[in-house]
Amino acid sequence: MTALLSLRGVETRIGRYHILHGVEFDVAEGGLTMLLGRNGAGKTTTLRTIMGLWRAAAGEIRFDGRDITKMETPDIARLGIAYVPESMAIFADLTVQENLVLAARAGPPDPKRLEWIFGRFEALKRFWTLPAGFLSGGQKQMLAVARAIVEPRRLLLIDEPTKGLAPAIIANMIDAFRELKDGESTLLVVEQNFAFARQLGDAVAVMDDGKVAHQGGMAAFAADSALQQHLLGMGMGEHQ
Amino acid sequence: MVKQALRAILSDDLPRSRWLAVVLVAILVGLAVAPFLFPGAKSLNVAAKICVFIVLAASFDLLLGYTGIVSFAHTMFFGIGAYGVAIALTRMGASWAAVAVGVVAGLAVAIVLAAVIGLFSLRVRTIFFAMITLAVASAFAILASQLSDLTGGEDGLNYRLPAELRAPFSFGDTLFGVRLNGRLLDYYLVYLASVVLVLALLRIVNSPFGSVLMAIRENPFRAEAIGYRTVVYRTIASCIAAAAAALAGVLLALWSSQTNPDTTLSFDIMVDILLMVVIGGMGTMYGAVLGAVLLVFAQNYLQDLLAIAHKALAGVPLLANFFHPDRWLLWLGVAFILCVYFFPSGIVGRLRNRR
Amino acid sequence: MKRDWLPLLLIPVLGLAALPLVGSAASWVTLTVAGLAMGLMIFIMASGLTLTFGLMDVLNFGHGAFIAVGAFVAASVMLALAPWMTADSLWLNLAAIGPAVLAAVVVSGLLGLAFERVLVRPVYGQHLKQILVTTGGLIVAEQLLKVIWGPEQITLSRPTALRGAFLLGDIAIEKYRVLAVVVGLVVFAGLALTLNRTRIGLLIRAGVENGEMVEALGYRIRRLFVGVFAVGSALAGLGGAMWGLYQETVTAAIGAQVAVLVFIVIIIGGLGSVGGCFIGALLVGLTANYIGFLAPKVALGSNILLMALILLWRPQGLYPVAKR
Ligand SMILES: Nc1ncnc2c1ncn2[C@@H]1O[C@H](COP(=O)(O)OP(=O)(O)OP(=O)(O)O)[C@@H](O)[C@H]1O
Ligand SMILES: [Mg+2]
């Protein structure tokens, strides 16, 4: 498998703070890579740097062989990269429908695809014309994910998708992500819920203090509880 | 010894540039001997105006340069100080008691008003504060011209100064051909008060309080996280600046024996102060001194220069208008914008960089 | 939020409260129409400013320059077409006003583009510099107006067809005010439709809430912003032209004077909210006219009082924009 996304020596500073110290990892095409790490390890900052929302001060980010390090955020998005931020960043004043209409750049959302999304996240259909600000936390999370997948994208960057979701919905999300990666997309998912991560991930990259401390297959990582203890400071599946 | 005394007086904040030191000494000495070097009512008037505006600009720098907030209400406090004394002298007659009442009342009103505006709007953001102060100041100017019973309306107030400050008062004969009268005394009152006020402001910005202000300016969130109540610090800074501006107003009122909206409250004066501080150099205190001198000079003499250019271009229709003597503000406005872009620390910054 | 109608109620409440104080119904109608006309003109000038603030967190303290330019350009065109202005024919009058207003809109829109490029763009995200530079822009623009049009004020009179008043019984309603109300409502409806019914409008509303996310969805918000800035400047020019015709004099200081009202309105409305700006403008216009009638001395100070009261009730203005 070739790498769809690769980071080499990426350094990011926010104001006077040096946050990322040479991040390096690859995301294989057609798979789901989990980005794990303790709180404050730099996962969110990494995703934001890929999206061009923070500027890498040094290093190189390649997408599909192309150097995107210095590209503007909208241009990066137009290469086929979608982003679900940790804060969800749904547009509260816009209705659920308007949120999705906006996310579909190519034109009105494809009805078949919408049905598929509604099948996974039924609440979105129910509150279709409600301002998104009125949705519950979990429903907002569904909307944020739906916005990223309303049109086919090559790479999905998703920051903590399961936060605040009920188990039944998490199961739906797992289904959705599986279908996506088996079909059209490659996924890079930040996750704290290790049970979720090991079920879904093909590969894993673990960050610690602004660097990638470990990269490899998920199966091997899930089997090595000493390594997990060392990198994540927890036993298997304990952490929610 | 001398150096130590100087450090103490300047609160350890030396000019740090030979040229700047030379210019500052020239200003200090020049203003001190102005009555003897340039006798005559007009030049003495210019010198006194410079003193007053140095204080006004320096107090504005405390806000703009050191605290990082833009207030468009600074002239309001200037006006409050001036009107305080003017009203007291008008109502109570030409006595020092009236001056004292005016000063105290003016200071009290200025500080309370600054505190209210600050607590009201400084918790939000710079832009909000700038907008609110703009609105309040314009309302205040209108109010002052409407309450003509108290303020004399558009015409302002004409009043008599205490006897010791008037021309007939004499405390000797002449010195170097200059009459030792009340006007001279008045000038030195203004001069000394200005020196003291600028040194006091210098002390404030170099105190621990001043360091906190600068920390807040650099990063308000961080300062708040470390445990400083940014609103409180900014409000106190704004009260101090208001008090200093009011005292500058007092000096103006004591100098000119007339106070009106144009010379104290107008937006034009606000623009002047902005230009002084930014062109002189924000956050340097000395910049305010330079800026004030430069601007008052420009107002009085740049016009003459422009008049020459204007004459030379008399044949060219539109171009000549650019150099009309009344358009000096155009050129200073351009200089202002260029300063903000390219020389954020103004003339003082340039001087310090070349040493 | 969409469903918060309370601020909207303030307008009828204010009107009804003024009725017994004013006393006569005829004067009340006259004042109310005058207040609505003034409010809507301010709204036209303020709408662009509040949108650019919401969208890019940029507050242009030089917005008044566009107002003044609009007034001057329109005045020049109208003076040039003086014979049509004074003709006793509505159509000829309109044939003079039309090009005048068009010229005002185009020139101030273009000026807006230049302003954005030269003054605003280099200082994005730096509020202090932004305030200073745009204020500097206002100073320079005001001087340039004097360079081009001379330092004296220009007097112009309204065209024949727009002078005088409609009389309904003992109620007198100035014709020009009716026109101002109509134009203001058309602009408001146009903005509301654009914002709610078009994709551009959707993008603007989303951008006001979270510009970063709009970019992450693949839209170039900068371009959108430049467009909004230009339209906002053009609207300021339109408002300035109308204001000049309303006052029948134009001076270089007009921009700075009206800009104060504009600022008060967008603070009242909630920075970034067009709906709030609309309500704020009407409140300011009505208050100024009612108080101007009841207690002329404090009329202009009344706006500050209004602002303080509203901020005590809602510290972020009537419709705080949901941010991030
Ligand atoms: N805007 C900012 N300014 C300064 N420091 C920041 C900023 N954003 C993040 N940081 C710091 O950068 C480091 C990495 O943060 P980041 O959000 O990337 O961590 P994370 O791995 O996503 O953590 P979590 O699991 O809690 O979401 C943290 O120490 C954080 O305090
Ligand atoms: Mg995170």
Indicate the average pLDDT of chain B: 89
Distance A40 CA to ligand 2 centre (A): 7
Mean pLDDT of chain A: 91
pLDDT tier for residue C64 given thresholds of 50, 70 and 90: very high
Does residue A176 carry a pLDDT above 60? yes
CATH 3.40.50.300-classified regions of chain A: 3-80+153-232
Query: β-pairing, C165-168 with C171-174?
Result: antiparallel
The tokens for B107 are 């200071």
Span between the terminal Cα atoms of chain C, in Å: 14
**Domain range enclosing B66:** 17-29+44-354
Return the CA Rg of chain A. 17
Q: What is the predicted pLDDT for the residue at C300?
A: 66
C-alpha separations of A131 from A95, A123, C1 in Å = 4, 13, 8
Q: Give the pLDDT band of residue C94 (cuts 50, 70, 90).
A: confident
Report the pLDDT averaged over residues B277-282: 93
Q: Which helix (H) or strand (E) holds A23?
A: strand A17-28
- How high is the pLDDT of residue B12? 80
| Total domains, chain B | 1
pLDDT per residue as tens digits for the range C109-123 = 999 999 999 998 888
- The H or E element spanning position B210 is helix B208-218
Q: How confident is the model over B65-90, as pLDDT tens digits?
A: 999 999 999 999 999 999 999 999 99
Residue A70: CB partners within 8 Å, gap ≥ 6? A55
Contacts of A101 in chain C (CB under 8 A): 199, 202
One of 1.10.10.10, 3.40.50.300, 3.40.50.720, 3.30.420.10 is the CATH number of A3-80+153-232, namely 3.40.50.300
pLDDT given at position A44: 96
Other beta carbons within 10 angstroms of residue C121's beta carbon come to 15
Contacts of A57 by beta carbon, 8 Å cutoff, 6+ apart: A11, A12, A13
Dihedral, CA of residue A22, residue A23, residue A29 and residue A32, to nearest 10:
180
Nearest to A74 among C1, C209, C218 (CB): C218
The CA A20 to ligand 1 mean position distance, Å, reads: 10
DSSP lists the bridge partners of residue A217 as A203
The answer to whether the CB atoms of C202 and A98 lie below 8 A apart is yes
Q: Which atom of ligand 1 is nearest to the CA of A37?
A: 21
Report chain C residues whose CB lies below 8 A from the CB of A74: 215, 218-221
Residue B100 DSSP SS3 = helix
C140 interaction partners in chain B (CB closer than 8 Å): 330, 333-334, 337
- State pLDDT tens for residues C30-50: 999 999 999 999 999 999 899
Contact A186, A31 (CB under 8 A): yes
pLDDT category at C73 given cuts 50, 70, 90 is: very high
Chain A residue with minimum CA distance to C321: A93
Choosing from A12, A17, A207 the residue with most ligand 1 atoms within 8 A of its CB, the one to mutate for a pocket test is A17
Q: In C, which residues are within 8 Å of B316 by CB distance?
A: none
> How many alpha carbons fall within 13 Å on the CB side of residue C283?
30
Structure tokens at C33: 């129409």
Q: B13-37 as b/e, with b when 16 or more CB fall inside 10 Å?
A: eebebeebeebbeebeeebeebbee
pLDDT at C1: 43
More confident residue, B99 or B17: B99
How far is CA C255 from its chain centroid?
11
Q: C196-213 pLDDT, tens per residue? A: 889 999 999 999 889 999
| DSSP-H helix ranges across chain C | 6-22, 25-56, 63-80, 82-86, 90-115, 127-149, 175-197, 199-216, 221-247, 254-269, 274-294, 302-313
Categorize the per-residue pLDDT at B125 as very low, low, confident or very high, splitting at 50, 70 and 90.
Answer: confident
Alpha carbons B284 and B214: distance in angstroms, whole number: 12
- Mean per-residue pLDDT of chain C: 90
Average pLDDT over every residue of B48-62:
96
Tell me the ipTM for this assembly.
Answer: 0.92
Q: What is the CA angle C81-C86-C89, rounded to 5?
A: 105
The pLDDT assigned to A240 comes to 40
Q: Name the pLDDT band for C56 (thresholds 50, 70, 90).
A: confident
- DSSP 3-state assignment of B352? helix
Local structure of B238: helix, strand or coil: helix
Residues 6+ apart with CB under 8 A from B274: B60, B64, B336, C132, C135
Q: Say if B272 falls within a structural domain.
A: yes
Nearest-CA distance from C94 to chain B in Å? 31
Type of residue found at A75: D
Q: All domains of chain C, ordered by start, with CATH?
A: 6-313 (1.10.3470)
Q: What are phi and psi of C163, to 5 degrees?
A: -90, 165
Which of A39-48, B12-21, B310-319 bottoms out in mean pLDDT, i.e. has the lowest? B310-319
In a domain, residue B34? The reply is: no
Neighbours of ion ligand 2 (CB under 5 A): A 44, 86
Distance (angstroms) between ligand 2 centre and the Cα of A37 equals 9
Rounded average pLDDT over A146-153: 95
Q: Is residue B206 part of a domain?
A: yes
Q: Which of A156, A169, A172, A74 is nearest to A116 (CA)?
A: A172
- Integer Cα distance of C55 and C47 in angstroms: 12
Q: Distance from first CA to last CA of chain B, Å, rounded? A: 24
Neighbours of C, requiring at least 3 CB pairs below 8 Å, are A, B
Burial of B226 per CB tally in 10 Å (0-12, 13-18, 19+): exposed
The pLDDT value given to residue C54: 84
pLDDT tens, position by position, B24-52: 999 999 999 888 888 788 889 999 999 99
> Could you tell me which residues come within 8 angstroms of residue B60 by beta carbon, excluding any fewer than 6 positions away?
B71, B74, B241, B245, B273, B274, B276, B277, B288
- What integer pLDDT is reported at residue B175 of this predicted model? 78
Position A16 pLDDT exceeds 70: yes
Q: Helices B126-146 and B74-92 sit at what angle, rounded to 10 degrees?
A: 30
Of A184 and C61, the one with more pLDDT = C61
- Domain CATH for B208: 1.10.3470
Q: Residue B152 — pLDDT band, cuts 50, 70, 90?
A: confident
* Range with top average pLDDT, A37-51, C165-179, C296-310: A37-51
* B165-170, Cβ contacts within 8 angstroms, sequence gap of 24 or more: B165/B189, B165/B254
Task: Give the position of tokens 């937006």.
Answer: B267
Q: Which ligand is nearest to the CA of A17?
A: 1
Q: In chain C, positions 164-203, which contact chain B (CB-CB < 8 Å)?
A: none
Q: What is the mean pLDDT of residues C132-161?
A: 90
pLDDT of B240 over the 90 cut = yes
Q: Is A106 helix (H, G, I), strand (E, B) or coil?
A: coil
> Which is the closest atom of ligand 1 to the Cα of A207?
21
Identify whether the C-beta of residue A52 lies closer than 8 Å to the C-beta of residue A43. Answer: no
Which residues does a 6 A CB cutoff place in the pocket of ligand 1?
A 14-15, 17, 19, 37, 39-45, 86
